[in-house]
Structure 1
């Protein structure tokens, strides 16, 4: 018998407490990996520059692979939330089963492909030599965790669809905690363990990733859902995944182009660009936690046939995200002479940071609204529109201005004008789509 959806699906717009109950644990999940990566860098950094550079190269490739399959999380959330809102928890969990099969299959394929091309790719990035050798040794081990990474993404997806963001936080924290204990133990040979050096970092990563994946799989088994693959659902998930993958590739093309052009303006410009861009990425994670709440709540409301309630959720979460972004903008404006010095004391870099810093401050309120509306439309399963809007914004706004900056010598001001234009265009597209109401189609996922 179908279960009733959560009480928050119907009635008035969700309270601040209800949104926070979803957003704060989601933020913990989003922040866990960057924090662990910083710890991993600190451990490996004591082995010397070659090991640290090797970790950077191997981690870049692994991170690129993981970033392209986030549809296993976002797409599964949208579909599972629809079923959950319709009162069919069993079907919502079944989306997680199918996403997990997809994750396992794609993960095995990723291992095979990366093992095949690892040497030429690492050598091309590191320009050969000992750094390439170090990066290759790390990557060949670390990529064995690819299926586990994908299983965790799928697990996050279906649990968020059930408006459960607390268990995923526990699972992810347990996995990274074990990795954090194993990393220095295996790298340095503590407590009688073998001293593996840089490969020890990769082993620690793989163990922690598989532990988290096992916890997610156990949660599926406890639900007692049928575990057999369902081709129709797998096909539907792949279609949504295709649209979200194209969207992700558009982001990658933009940010890689921006870094490439920034490098042409000198080391100080590139360093300043990267510092501000990393802060931008961190703040995006903070705001994305509210977008995840929007996904779960909107999907459930539409699954329950409550289009008006979904629109109330959209307005409430967008307001919260914009206010949060305004607060962050105020903090970073106030810290404009202090925060950059936490990252560098180089006078040339500090001078160059001034330009992108104020672009960042100005962009944050726009980003707050855009990310919230992204979550609304993703929760509605409007992946094709999201793909088209992102591609159009990149091709019309970001990429032309980036390359024009190189041609006309506009420097970081030109690059960050491109990023600002990209955000404004996305706000226009997703804002118009949200106001049109065409996204608010009700019913369970097909």
Structure 2
């Protein structure tokens, strides 16, 4: 694959910083784990449960970033920078409103949710403490998502990387101070993260305020804009719920297959997530580029960029597959000495590797359709994809097929995503030109 295509430079300019920002995000929990680990096993277990709850919340609200990217990039492509900033303002208002609503509705439900996520009687109190404090940072966390979407829509992925790195540094410093130096326990870890998230949100608000002042965009919430953002968010929420259902069900099935299977599955899932970050970075570039070009009315350029990004996705997927197959004999040694876990993992890694080229296409097309604002189709496709996975996953459990069978079920899911997204990309239905998708 040569790098002489006219879109290559733009794809790299957007994708490389996006990859850095994506990698920086999970470092929050990793840093918390390293510091909270000094408090003991119970505290670390509590952080694990709380992290799952908050991670699910972030994933469900990621539409604030993706939807804002799509709407802002279209306005940028049309040359309407004032309207683009206006869309960003509405996105931040929506994030703030949802964040406050989640605090009010979520605090009474914390004990129920913590136990639903499997916390034991010993772990639950500390997990509840962490979630109670962390809820105060939810508005900031959601504003960060919306602010990231604004800047991506403005074709800027470098600034979100800088903000992510800054938040990570502040989070690490405050966690070390509150937990290790001042002895605030697990609540100190939560407060450190809350303050880091709030600081990141403040940075994005300042940037949007500057943009509003520069282009003369109003700062008050616009009911029509909020309604449009919420409507787009519903489609993305359904799509994301489908993804979460698949991942949660896969974990539940692996747990029922046996201890060695669930341990190996978690390692395989982490490997999958790592490669997904790189592929997701191309998808984020796809969101920004597609929205801008359709906003400018250049459907041909949007299609040409899509073809090139699919080529990038396939090329990256093939490279990842070859690397995984090459390191597969030694990779389990980095995680476990258990022979059963190692055996299960070696089989699963073959499937993970072979799915990489498919994932490369799927992630790119997902990003392109999000950038095009094709949210209704993504919601319908998400339901179909999940429906394709569930019976196959049940068969993997019922027939005692083992972890390889479960990952083959994941392969059926990825194939369903490839078919549904690929068929859509071949039509003209997604490539609607204009500053606003009609």
TM tier relative to shorter chain: over 0.9
Is 2:431 the partner of 1:444?
A: no
Is 2:422 the partner of 1:434?
A: no
Could you tell me how far 1:52 is from its partner in structure 2?
0.2
Work out the CA distance in 2 between the residues paired with 1:66 and 1:125. Answer: 16
Are 2:238 and 2:379, in contact at CA under 8 Å, matched by a contact in 1? Answer: yes
Are 1:122 and 1:135, in contact at CA under 8 Å, matched by a contact in 2? Answer: yes
Could you tell me how far 1:15 is from its partner in structure 2?
3.2
Are 2:49 and 2:119, in contact at CA under 8 Å, matched by a contact in 1? Answer: no
Work out the CA distance in 2 between the residues paired with 1:76 and 1:228. Answer: 17
Q: For 1:380-395, list aligned pairs within 5 A.
A: 380-395=372-387
Match of 2:114 in 1: 122
Work out the CA distance in 2 between the residues paired with 1:416 and 1:338. Answer: 20
Unaligned runs of at least 5 residues, structure 1 = 1-11
Is 2:296 the partner of 1:289?
A: no
Give the paired residue count.
Answer: 430
Could you tell me how far 1:340 is from its partner in structure 2?
2.0
Alignment equivalent of 1:421, drawn from 409, 412, 417: 412
Distance 1:127 1:31, change over 3 A: closer
Work out the CA distance in 1 between the residues paired with 2:114 and 2:313. Answer: 39
Alignment equivalent of 1:155, drawn from 139, 147, 152: 147
Are 1:268 and 1:349, in contact at CA under 8 Å, matched by a contact in 2? Answer: yes
Aligned partner of residue 303 in structure 2, secondary structure: helix
User: How far does the alpha carbon of each residue in 1:140-176 deviate from its partner, in whole angstroms, 9 at most, with x for none?
Assistant: 1111110011000000111111101111111121112
Distance 1:377 1:400, change over 3 A: same
Is 2:207 the partner of 1:219?
A: yes
Are 1:80 and 1:93, in contact at CA under 8 Å, matched by a contact in 2? Answer: yes
Aligned partner of residue 129 in structure 1, secondary structure: coil
Work out the CA distance in 1 between the residues paired with 2:129 and 2:6. Answer: 49
Could you tell me how far 1:120 is from its partner in structure 2?
2.2
Match of 2:344 in 1: 352
Match of 1:9 in 2: none
Match of 1:274 in 2: 266
**Stretches (4+) displaced over 6 A:** none
Could you tell me how far 1:252 is from its partner in structure 2?
1.4
Q: For 1:35-434, list aligned pairs within 5 A.
A: 35-189=27-181, 194-223=182-211, 224=213, 225-396=217-388, 398-434=389-425
Work out the CA distance in 2 between the residues paired with 1:128 and 1:293. Answer: 42
Work out the CA distance in 1 between the residues paired with 2:304 and 2:330. Answer: 39
Are 1:73 and 1:153, in contact at CA under 8 Å, matched by a contact in 2? Answer: yes
Are 1:104 and 1:150, in contact at CA under 8 Å, matched by a contact in 2? Answer: yes
Work out the CA distance in 2 between the residues paired with 1:413 and 1:338. Answer: 18
Could you tell me how far 1:130 is from its partner in structure 2?
2.4
Bigger shift: residues 368-377 or 111-120: 111-120
Distance 1:128 1:413, change over 3 A: closer
Work out the CA distance in 1 between the residues paired with 2:112 and 2:314. Answer: 45
Work out the CA distance in 2 between the residues paired with 1:283 and 1:374. Answer: 16
Is 2:21 the partner of 1:32?
A: no
User: How far does the alpha carbon of each residue in 1:197-239 deviate from its partner, in whole angstroms, 9 at most, with x for none?
Assistant: 1111101100100010000000011111311111111111111
Aligned partner of residue 219 in structure 2, secondary structure: coil
Distance 1:127 1:330, change over 3 A: closer
User: How far does the alpha carbon of each residue in 1:44-64 deviate from its partner, in whole angstroms, 9 at most, with x for none?
Assistant: 112110000011111111111
Q: What is the TM-score when the length of structure 2 is the normalising length?
A: 0.96
Could you tell me how far 1:91 is from its partner in structure 2?
0.9
Are 1:13 and 1:313, in contact at CA under 8 Å, matched by a contact in 2? Answer: no
Could you tell me how far 1:78 is from its partner in structure 2?
0.6
Unaligned runs of at least 5 residues, structure 2 = none
Aligned partner of residue 436 in structure 1, secondary structure: coil
Work out the CA distance in 2 between the residues paired with 1:172 and 1:33. Answer: 7
Q: What is the TM-score when the length of structure 1 is the normalising length?
A: 0.94
Work out the CA distance in 1 between the residues paired with 2:124 and 2:114. Answer: 6
Work out the CA distance in 2 between the residues paired with 1:272 and 1:282. Answer: 16
Are 1:83 and 1:91, in contact at CA under 8 Å, matched by a contact in 2? Answer: yes
Bigger shift: residues 32-41 or 263-272: 32-41
Distance 1:322 1:123, change over 3 A: same
